[in-house]
């Protein structure tokens, strides 16, 4: 896709997405919701505010046979980073298809120790939170173009 095509795609927002967002800040959730609505067509973006709720959500989806999220966005500090890491480890130690869901950390922290430890515990990638509205929009546009336009997600066989 060329840049002009990228712009066209963004304008028509053809990407559907099921995203689970673990975010304890209501302010950030409001910003994220707007950015998601700008970047996707018919997004299903579910927010939970802590790791326990996220694990319950995944368990319930499995029990009920409803679709799992395609990607999880994880705010690392919930409010401590141990809670974010515990969620990562728990998900990655579960059987497929839950273990296969890419978990992308989206944190205010740019501490190299947080970055390294997150990859070590199974994060697919680590992004730092943007600092202005335009950068939030760009961030979700990039996530959308990478995970939904370019990447083949593991859901292809397991849970669609």
Contacts of 40 (CB under 8 A, 6+ apart): 13, 15, 16, 17, 144, 148
99 binds a second copy (CB under 8 A): yes
62 binds a second copy (CB under 8 A): no
46 binds a second copy (CB under 8 A): no
Contacts of 119 (CB under 8 A, 6+ apart): 126
Q: Which of 154, 157, 156, 160 is nearest to 72 (CA)?
A: 154
- Helix, strand, or coil (residue 16): coil
Is the sign of the CA dihedral 35, 125, 147, 8 positive or negative? positive
110 binds a second copy (CB under 8 A): yes
Among 49, 50, 62, 138, binds a second copy (CB under 8 A): 138
Among 26, 113, 131, 132, binds a second copy (CB under 8 A): 113
Q: Which is nearer to a second copy, 53 or 124 (CB)?
A: 124
Q: Which is nearer to a second copy, 44 or 153 (CB)?
A: 153
Alpha helices in 65-147 (DSSP H): 81-93, 112-120, 133-143
CA distance 150 to 126: 18
89 binds a second copy (CB under 8 A): no
Number of residues that bind a second copy (CB under 8 A): 41
Site residues (vs a second copy, CB under 8 A): 1-3, 6-7, 10, 96-97, 99-100, 102, 110, 112-113, 115-116, 119-120, 124-128, 134-135, 138-139, 142-143, 145-147, 149-154, 156-158
């Amino acid at each position: 896709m060329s840049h002009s095509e990228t712009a066209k795609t963004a304008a028509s927002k053809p990407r559907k997405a099921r995203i689970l967002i673990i975010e304890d800040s209501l302010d950030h959730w409001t910003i994220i919701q707007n950015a998601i609505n700008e970047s996707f067509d018919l997004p299903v973006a579910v927010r939970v505010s802590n790791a326990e709720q996220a694990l319950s959500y995944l368990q319930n989806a499995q029990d009920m046979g409803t679709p799992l999220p395609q990607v999880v966005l994880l705010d690392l500090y919930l409010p401590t980073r141990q809670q974010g890491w515990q969620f990562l480890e728990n998900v990655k130690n579960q059987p497929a298809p839950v273990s296969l869901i890419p978990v992308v950390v989206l944190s205010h922290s740019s501490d190299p120790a947080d970055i390294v430890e997150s990859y070590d515990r199974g994060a697919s990638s680590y992004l730092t939170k943007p600092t202005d509205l335009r950068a939030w929009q760009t961030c979700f546009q990039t996530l959308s173009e990478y995970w939904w336009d370019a990447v083949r997600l593991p859901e292809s066989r397991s849970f669609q």
